[in-house]
Amino acid sequence: MTYQKNYYYNKAKKESRWDPPSAEEKLGAKHILRKHRNSRRPSSWREENITRSEDEAREIIEGYLREIQEIPDAKERDRRFSEIASKYSDCSSAKRGGDLGSFAIGAMQKPFEAAVLDLKVGEISQPIKTDSGIHIILRTL
């Protein structure tokens, strides 16, 4: 028998269900963002006018990701992620080590939210493209 319904699996909680996640469920993440000249707002607290290409932004993010992934200890990876975000992220969350705090489902751009939902707490995403730029994301909640 087929139910013609989507099936949802929450990797973080290791739960499966037929009903979609509710807007009240909270997610949490840190991220490192590098904007490029085609970002929806190509300026940041770091640079008034961002001129790098999307490919250059992706290369920078991939370099940060390689550096972080080489660290074997999870706490040290988290510390280094926050350190890089504080120094180099183009998001104002850099002031908090890239920490976006908790947020409801539906509050972030779709590709960003999908990446967070696909991660377990403590996992880091591959580079993600949104209208804001290129991100790597560390799920915290």
Please give the positions annotated as active site: 31, 91, 109, 132, 135
Q: Given the structure tokens 């779709």, which residue do they identify?
A: 110
Rg (CA), the chain: 16
Give the DSSP H or E segment for 30. strand 26-34
Cβ proximity of 123 and 29 under 8 Å: no
Long-range Cβ contact pairs of 11-18 (< 8 A, separation 24 or more): 11/117, 11/118, 11/119, 11/120, 12/119, 12/120, 12/121, 12/139
106-110: long-range contacts (C-beta < 8 A, 24 or more apart)?
106/23
